[in-house]
Amino acid sequence: MTVRVDVAPSVLSWALDVTGADEEGLHRRFKLDKWLAAEARPTLKQLQDFAKAAGVPFGYLLLPQPPAWSLPVPDFREGFETVPTPSANLIAVIGQSQRRQEWYRDYALALGVEPLAFVGSAAELPPLEAAAEIRSALDFQVSDRHGTWADTRKALLRGFETLGGLTVATSMVENNTRRSLDENEFRGFALVDDIAPLVFVNTHQTLNGQIFTLAHEFAHVWRGTSGIGNEDTRSDGQSDIERWCNAVASEVLVPRDDLADRHARVASAPLVQALDTLAHDFRCGTLVVLQALHRTGVRRIENYAAAYDAEVVRLRDLSEARESGGGDHYNNQPFRVGERLSRALIADALEGRTPITEAMRLMSMKSASTFDEYARRLGAA
DNA sequence: GGTACAATCCTCCACGGGAG
DNA sequence: CTCCCGTGGAGGATTGTACC
């Protein structure tokens, strides 16, 4: 006998609302119209498959009404008429990040790690001074910016990890390429903690965007306020906290004094050319430079809004022809999981304190041989 | 034009996970 | 089982630049 399950249509609608999966595909695979109209009931297996495909925890589908789920961190996202329901993917990556953070916090406390002094240390400082502290702590001076933009992102991530923080840079839930994160929903978040501050960057955005997001999330940590954001350089931010964090991020990437010096060389060049040159100097996006020129008054920009729009269009055209290369799981993992957390998990598991299965789960790993090889590659075995 | 070096481009790798 | 997707870094190849 086949077990059929009662599903509240409102709960199904909710699931479709929060899913990151292709809704048409779900309609093709499942008899959603009939379920929604209560003309048919799914079997247990069908509903389980649907939960998996939609990326929604199965248990929620059995509730009589949609769950009131909300972000467990302050929501600083802007540009919405009404605050949208967080997607299942976003809830999933926040939950996963919190589990990793909790584990690492316990681990670090057991090792006798002292609270990190920089967390919340800049809360009372004006953006210029806060940015100077962050640059200095991360060893991210303008004169040190070499190589590609990917190198610059790496320098930011590694700088923060060296200070004792955790980083996660990924574009999907776990290693599931079918649950990719929506860059329009959020660009990153910071989970502030004085032992295990965690910074998450959604890598489903340009490298320039990721670099700005990282600087912004660092600002959150130095201010001591957790938060999730979809910030871009266009708006100054609607809340005081976002305004402050954006100003700090901008100043971290493009320090006022350096900007004045370097802009002198291209002061007479057309704006677009000056933006390219300066973005290369600072290893950030042209939009960040444009915003900084405007903010500091280093260059007089006739119509800022129009210039910004024009640059957005130019960048969009440039990015048309982008392709993605291959990858190596063992190279990718330190970015997706974070190197500090990886090393800690491996070390603790090999010493028998954390079960290997638990370490593998926290690192989204499937086989023991992958764990061994990863440990070997990291030089942690 | 030739040289040296730097910057950038290109290609290739291994794994996890879903679809069919 | 086979296909596809997503992905950072290593290292060689190519292009750019500064100087003679």
What digits encode the pLDDT tens for the residues A348-370? Answer: 999 999 998 889 889 988 888 88
Question: Which residues, by CB, come closer than 7 Å to strand C?
Answer: A 150-151, 154, 169, 171-172, 175, 177, 180, 203-204, 324-329, 331-332, 335
Between CA A327 and CA A332 the distance in angstroms is: 7
Please name the residue whose C-alpha is nearest to the C1' of nucleotide B13: A328
Q: What is the residue whose two structure tokens read 């590694």?
A: A158
Average pLDDT over residues A39-52: 82
Strand partners, A166: A198
CA end-to-end span of chain A? 51
Nucleotides of strand B under 7 angstroms from a protein beta carbon:
7-8, 11-20
Please say if the pLDDT value at position A318 is more than 80.
no
Q: Which of residues 265-324 of A touch strand B (CB under 7 A)?
A: 280
Nucleic strand B near CB of residue A121 (< 7 Å): no
Q: Compute the CA torsion angle A252, A257, A258, A261 (nearest 10 deg).
A: 160
The pLDDT, as a whole number, for residue A101 is 95
Q: Does residue A150 surpass a pLDDT of 60?
A: yes
pLDDT at A81 over 80: no
Q: Average pLDDT, stretch A308-319?
A: 80
CA A176 → C1' C5, Å?
Answer: 9
pLDDT band at A61 (very low <50, low <70, confident <90, very high): confident
User: Do A228 and A77 contact (CB within 8 A), yes or no?
Assistant: yes
Average pLDDT of chain A to the nearest whole number: 87
User: Within a 10 A sphere around the Cβ of A236, how many other Cβ atoms?
Assistant: 14
Of residues A17 and A255, more confidence is placed in A255
Mean pLDDT of A160-172: 93
Comparing A169-183, A192-206, A341-355, the range with the smallest average pLDDT is A169-183
pLDDT for A321 beyond 70 = no
Q: How much is the average pLDDT of A32-57?
A: 83
Indicate yes or no: strand B within 7 A of the C-beta of A207.
Answer: no
Q: State the average pLDDT over residues A21-29.
A: 78
Residue A342 has pLDDT above 90, yes or no: yes
A323 confidence band (pLDDT: 50, 70, 90): low
At residue A2, does pLDDT exceed 70? no
Domain definitions of chain A by residue range:
9-62, 80-252, 329-378
Q: Indicate the burial class of A86 (C-beta count within 10 angstroms; 0-12, 13-18, 19 or more).
A: buried
pLDDT for the residue numbered A56: 84
Q: Strand, helix or coil at A17? A: helix
SS (H, E, C) A229-259: ECCCCCCCCCCHHHHHHHHHHHHHHCCHHHH
- Which contacts of A150-153 are long-range, i.e. CB under 8 A and separated by 24 or more positions? A150/A207, A151/A283, A152/A207, A152/A211, A152/A283, A152/A284, A153/A207, A153/A210, A153/A211, A153/A214
CA A325 to C1' B10 (Å) is 9
Note the pLDDT tens digit of each residue in A229-275. 887 777 666 788 999 999 999 999 999 999 998 898 888 888 888 89
Distance CA A127, CA A367 (A): 46
Segment A212-233 mean pLDDT: 91
Q: Which residue is nearest to nucleotide C7 (CA to C1')?
A: A327
Chain C bases near protein CB atoms (7 A cut-off):
4-10
- List, in sequence order, every residue forming a beta bridge with A167; answer none if it has no partner: A199
Question: Given this model, what pLDDT does residue A57 score?
Answer: 83
Kindly state the average pLDDT of the residues A142-159.
86
Å from the A91 CA to the B8 C1' = 39
pLDDT number for residue A147: 80
The residue lying closest to nucleotide B8, measuring its CA against C1', is A148
Which carries the bigger pLDDT value, residue A365 or residue A167? Answer: A167
* A193 φ/ψ sector (left φ>0, alpha ψ -120 to 50, else beta): beta
Section A108-134 average pLDDT: 96
Whether A40 has a pLDDT exceeding 60, the answer reads yes
Across residues A366-377, what is the average pLDDT? Answer: 86
Q: Straight-line distance from CA A301 to C1' C5, in Å?
A: 43
Q: How far is the CA of A301 from the C1' of B16 (A)?
A: 49
Q: Is the dihedral of CA A252, A258, A259, A262 positive or negative?
A: negative
A326: CB within 7 A of chain B nucleic strand: yes
- Count the Cβ atoms, other than its own, within 10 Å of residue A24: 8
